[in-house]
Amino acid sequence: MSDPDAPPEATHYEPKVIRREDRRARVKSEEHDQIEYPIVVEGLVNQFGDFVVHEDLSLKVRRGEILGVVGGSGTGKSVLMRSIIGLQRPTAGQIEVFGRSIDDPGDDSEVDIRSRWGVLFQGGALFSTLTVGENVEVPLREFYPEIDEEFRHEIARFKVGLTGLPEETVAKYPSELSGGMRKRAALARSLALDPELLFLDEPTAGLDPIGAAAQDRLTRELTDILGLTVFLITHDLDTLYEICDRVAVIADKHVIAVGTIEELLATDHPWIQEYFNGPRGRAVRDNRDRTKAVDKSQDGKA
Ligand SMILES: Nc1ncnc2c1ncn2[C@@H]1O[C@H](COP(=O)(O)OP(=O)(O)O)[C@@H](O)[C@H]1O
Ligand SMILES: [Mg+2]
């Protein structure tokens, strides 16, 4: 007997959604709790014609961390990210995400591995002809076509709210937003599918220092609240110091060092020394030390 009080559409879509969510939840809890390294890259080679970008590059990303990825311009940070998410087929090497090879992510009955990560591409390109809400709905339409329209709108509104944007932003077009708001909207879209893993390619590029600091705080907060693991490409020293748990340095075609900034400073690689101990690196550190000293003296007064 059907419940006469139940909304008519509910019987239409709920069973499907619940079954799929259920399966996803199970996969999430079993795998996610066991896997120490959601991303494992070993012996990666990427080559375009004669031009070698990566040679024997290896990297492990720990569950729950924000890993900053740095390196000079053109060292292959974006290519590495594209390889991990399966958009760039490597010349050689192994890549595992959630313990599964990215070449062979499993059969059709399994949850599509692509639905378990979110990506904010360099430039954060939103579809300019779609509103912010419609942008956030794009991955939902692709991976969960069975979700009905009203529910999809609601999820989009929720994701937009999660990034701190005012409610009315849902109906706005990207061109009507500031750079910082566009980044937040792009972040909302990358969170559309409740990912476990987030890939951010230069998320503060083009923002003024205040906007960049706000975006950093948001990334850290969402990471902690949602239990995410984050692969964050940046050259923003503030971002590295403020929110990254560890930093991986790409130079000479591979990852030359991974660790906390303190650990990196203890190495004598010239690029690392120049980057973190050069004038800009020192300025960021001095500034942080000053801010901490002020905070301390104010704590004392309170
Ligand atoms: N599809 C491609 N075909 C040829 N060369 C490429 C391609 N994608 C990237 N490259 C080259 O690979 C190098 C690394 O690129 P990229 O990963 O974008 O650098 P970055 O570290 O600045 O993100 C660059 O020299 C770039 O020109
Ligand atoms: Mg890049």
Mutate-to-test residue for ligand 1 from 44, 46, 48, 121, highest number of ligand atoms within 8 A of CB: 48
Interhelix angle 179-190/132-143, nearest 10 degrees: 20
The pLDDT, as a whole number, for residue 285 is 84
Q: Which atom of ligand 1 is nearest to the CA of 80?
A: 17
Torsion angle of C-alpha atoms 95, 99, 103, 105, degrees rounded to 10 = -160
CB atoms < 10 A from the CB of 32, how many?
A: 17
Phi, psi angle pair for 157, to nearest 5°: -60, -40
219 with 243: CB under 8 angstroms?
Answer: yes
**Helix (H, G, I), strand (E, B), or coil: what is residue 11?**
helix
Per DSSP, the chain holds a count of helices (H) and strands (E) of 10, 10
* Predicted local distance difference test score (pLDDT) of residue 118: 95
Residue 91 phi, psi dihedral angles, 5° rounding: -70, -35
Residue closest by Cα to atom 19 of ligand 1: 74
Count of CB atoms situated within 10 Å of the CB of 202: 19
Ligand 2 (ion): residues with CB under 5 Å are 77-78, 122
Average pLDDT for runs of 10 along the chain of length 302:
43 39 52 80 97 98 97 96 95 94 68 88 88 97 95 97 96 95 95 96 93 95 95 95 97 97 94 91 85 73 53
Please name the residue whose Cα sits nearest to atom 2 of ligand 1.
Answer: 48
In this prediction, residue 9 carries a pLDDT of 39
CA of 76 to the centre of ligand 1 (A): 6
Report how far ligand 2's centroid is from the alpha carbon of 291 (Å): 31
Classified as helix, coil or strand, 200 is: strand
**Predicted confidence (pLDDT) per residue in 42-58, tens digit:** 999 999 999 999 999 99
Report which protein residue has its CA nearest ligand 1's atom 4.
48
**Which residue, chain included where needed, has tokens 């430039």?**
123
Q: Confirm whether pTM is higher than 0.75.
A: yes
For residue 275, what are the contacts with CB-CB under 8 A and spacing of at least 6?
Answer: 70, 249, 281
Compute, in angstroms, the gap from residue 78 CA to the centroid of ligand 1.
7
CA angle 162, 164, 167 (to 5 degrees): 85
Cβ(4) to ligand 1 under 6 A?
no
At residue 28, the pLDDT reads 56
- Which of left, alpha, beta for 137 (phi over 0: left; psi -120 to 50: alpha)? alpha
The alpha carbon of 7 and the centre of ligand 1 are apart by a number of angstroms equal to 52
Question: Is 82 a pocket residue for ligand 1 (Cβ < 6 Å)?
Answer: no
How high is the pLDDT of residue 107? 59
| Structure confidence at residue 112 (pLDDT) | 82
Q: How far apart are CA 168 and CA 239, in angstroms?
A: 29
253 Ramachandran zone, left/alpha/beta (phi>0; psi -120 to 50): left
73 lines ligand 1 (CB under 6 A): yes
- pLDDT at position 16 is 37
Q: Is the dihedral of CA 159, 162, 164, 167 positive or negative?
A: positive
Q: CA-to-CA distance for 106 and 100, rounded, in angstroms?
A: 8
Read off the amino acid at residue 63. R
67 lines ligand 1 (CB under 6 A): no
Distance (Å, rounded) from C-alpha 51 to C-alpha 215? Answer: 35
Expressed in angstroms and rounded, the spacing between residue 53 Cα and the centre of ligand 2 is 12
How much distance in Å is there from the Cα of 202 to the middle of ligand 2? 7
- Judge contact between 206 and 174, C-beta under 8 A: no
Percentage of the chain beyond pLDDT 70 is: 85
> Is the CB of 48 within 6 Å of ligand 1?
yes
Q: What is the whole-number distance in angstroms between the Cα of residue 88 and the centre of ligand 2?
A: 14
Asked whether 40 lines ligand 1 (CB < 6 A), one says no
Ligand nearest to the CA of 70: 1
Tokens of 169: 């932003």
**The residue type at 165:** L
**The pLDDT of residue 105:** 60
Residue-wise DSSP of 88-153: S--SEEEEEETTEETTS---TTSPPGGGGEEEE-TT-PPPTTS-HHHHHHHHHHHH-TTS-HHHHH
Summarize pLDDT for 136-145 with one digit per residue, the tens.
999 999 999 9
